[in-house]
Structure 1
Amino acid sequence: MADNYSELSFNEAKDLLRQWRENNERKSDEVLRVWSVIFEHGVKKLGNEKHLVLEQVFYAALDCHYYTVASYCSLMLQEEFPGSFRVARHVAALHEAQENYEEALNTLNNIIRLDETNAAARKRVVAILKAQGQIQAAIKELVDYLKKFMSDVEAWQELSELYLQVQEYARAAFCAEELLLHQPHNHLAHQRLADIRYTMGGVENMELAKLYYCKALKLNPENMRALLGLFLTTNNLLTHYKSSGNSGKRKEAWRLCQWAQAATARQTRARPEPNAAPLANAMLQLAITD
């Protein structure tokens, strides 16, 4: 559809905004153009969709840094729903977008004080603390959040990332293991846990990393990062088992290392991506300890 939204009728424009909402299409610039051309002076005619459109325009304005428009939409929603926690989160989002973090935190903490189960407000507190570089405070808030919402997969993933930032690898691994409980068939979750175990180092962690890389590749044989991880992990294990004299485990690591190298070469030949060949060449240049 052409971007000349002035040619749309009122109902056509309303249907277009509804379509974007239902399809989860952000389209912030387009939403603001439709708003300025069609709806800015005819909000009352929106009927039952008035509040949905105001919320849609509010977030579009934040995306595009049109804080005047966002404030206007927020004030209209506050007049309609003066005690709404959802509208209060809009106020906090406006403060956050303008980097008024203290005001945003005050608003969110007030919501949490009145409703301890408000998950969205608690998550925004973590996001603001992270934006301010207060990683330890963000970790504390997220740990408290997960005590009440243990099944939130995204929260476990975020907590794992935060622990990695402060190099607390054991706790990051624990969070990654929680992710596996919720997503046992997600090859990326297995690969992520393997990456953490590989980073932690040591024979025991390398053995665990090998198992998780193998599981990731069983779920998705085309996971190139898991292939590279398996190659590096088994190459490290070969060095250890050669000196320790454990021939059984050394043979197993040797077979996996050769398999990972061969699988990478096959995938590289099959893929036209320009970044695939350098990866395979780098693996071929790495010496395998026999």
Structure 2
Amino acid sequence: MAKVSELYDVTWEEMRDKMRKWRDENSRNSEQIVEVGEELINEYASKLGDDIWIIYEQVMIAALDYGRDDLALFCLQELRRQFPGSHRVKRLTGMRFEAMERYDDAIQLYDRILHEDPTNTAARKRKIAIRKAQGKNVEAIRELNEYLEQFVGDQEAWHELAELYINEHDYGKAAFCLEELMMTNPHNHLYCQQYAEVKYTQGGLENLELSRKYFAQALKLNNRNMRALFGNTADYPVLRFKNSFTLHFTTAQFSLLACDLIY
């Protein structure tokens, strides 16, 4: 198989910089990371200096995603030799257990990490990911609530909790999570749109009125949000019987016209 450097006529420095760019962008192009990273590790490890360790980690995670357990294990062994006892390396070991579907072993490992360092957010999130992978949404919700008691400002966790509540059809609690997100990030049109969808699903005139308002707010923040445009038209058939019939009809007409223009 041709080397990446020969195939694309790039230097090892360019390959290193590409790996850094993918890290900064949090790209999940696992196949490319494995191809470029494996060549860097095999051919240029001595030239990479301290960058080699972050590349080992990056390649290992991509290798797990790409089904290259042999490469993942090699990277993990190198990291263990360099950083024995590191919680970060232990977490990578847990991720390999997850890829092998050894979920109990992974959870035991994460529990040991948390016993030594209760503030280790990465280990907590891996436990939650396992519960979700096992389809144990109730346990994942419990773990997330415990996590948010300590790290209330984690927006990603609030959104994940909202999604879990939606999956469990607990729309009241999902709405609460989305309200928390909108308070901290009021200019995010996606939060407004999702909150409107939850209120629409809950039903009842009061919730539908709120739904219409938040679909409108989502459109104000991003007038190309198609779900919010369709949401506005979906609210109209019920709300047309209220006193604000003309307003709702006009809004629905506008939304339909906007959809036609976009498409």
Normalised TM-score (structure 1): 0.82
Q: 1-side partners of 2:41 and 2:235: how far apart?
A: 59
The residue aligned with 2:196 is 194
- Deviation for aligned residue 1:15: 3.9
CA offset digits 1:14-45 (Å, max 9, x no partner) = 34433433444444323322344453265344
Distance change in 2, residues 1:62/1:181 (3 Å): same
CA offset digits 1:212-237 (Å, max 9, x no partner) = 12222222233222122222223212
Equivalent of residue 116 in structure 1, options 115, 118, 124: 118
Query: 1:160 touches 1:173 (CA, 8 Å); kept in 2?
Result: yes
Show the 5 A alignment for 1:140-151: 140-151=142-153
- Deviation for aligned residue 1:168: 0.8
Letter of the 1:33 counterpart: E
Structure 2 alignment gaps of length 5 or more: none
**Residue identity (%):** 40
| Structure with greater Cα Rg | 1
CA offset digits 1:194-223 (Å, max 9, x no partner) = 111111111221122122122222222332
SS in 1 for 2:186: coil
Letter of the 1:255 counterpart: L
Distance change in 2, residues 1:205/1:45 (3 Å): same
Distance change in 2, residues 1:207/1:263 (3 Å): closer
RMSD over aligned CA atoms reads: 2.2
Distance change in 2, residues 1:233/1:18 (3 Å): closer
Q: 1-side partners of 2:19 and 2:240: how far apart?
A: 59
The residue aligned with 2:257 is 265
The residue aligned with 2:211 is 209
Equivalent of residue 42 in structure 2, options 40, 43, 59: 40
Equivalent of residue 94 in structure 2, options 92, 95, 109: 92
Q: 1-side partners of 2:184 and 2:3: how far apart?
A: 43
The residue aligned with 1:218 is 220
SS in 2 for 1:40: helix
- Deviation for aligned residue 1:5: 2.1
- Deviation for aligned residue 1:175: 0.6
CA offset digits 1:93-149 (Å, max 9, x no partner) = 111112111111111111111111111111111111011010000000000000011
The residue aligned with 2:239 is 237
The residue aligned with 1:245 is none
The residue aligned with 2:31 is 29
- Deviation for aligned residue 1:13: 3.8
Letter of the 1:86 counterpart: R
Equivalent of residue 130 in structure 1, options 129, 132, 143: 132
Number of matched pairs: 260
Q: 2-side partners of 1:120 and 1:10: how far apart?
A: 31
Letter of the 1:140 counterpart: R
Distance change in 2, residues 1:96/1:154 (3 Å): same
Structure 1 alignment gaps of length 5 or more: 242-249, 274-290
Normalised TM-score (structure 2): 0.90
Letter of the 1:188 counterpart: L
The residue aligned with 1:57 is 59
Distance change in 2, residues 1:5/1:26 (3 Å): farther
SS in 1 for 2:174: helix
Letter of the 2:255 counterpart: A
Query: 1:224 touches 1:264 (CA, 8 Å); kept in 2?
Result: no
Q: 2-side partners of 1:211 and 1:231: how far apart?
A: 12
- Deviation for aligned residue 1:173: 0.7
Query: 1:230 touches 1:257 (CA, 8 Å); kept in 2?
Result: no
SS in 2 for 1:232: helix
Query: 2:155 touches 2:181 (CA, 8 Å); kept in 1?
Result: yes
Letter of the 1:264 counterpart: L
- Deviation for aligned residue 1:267: 3.8
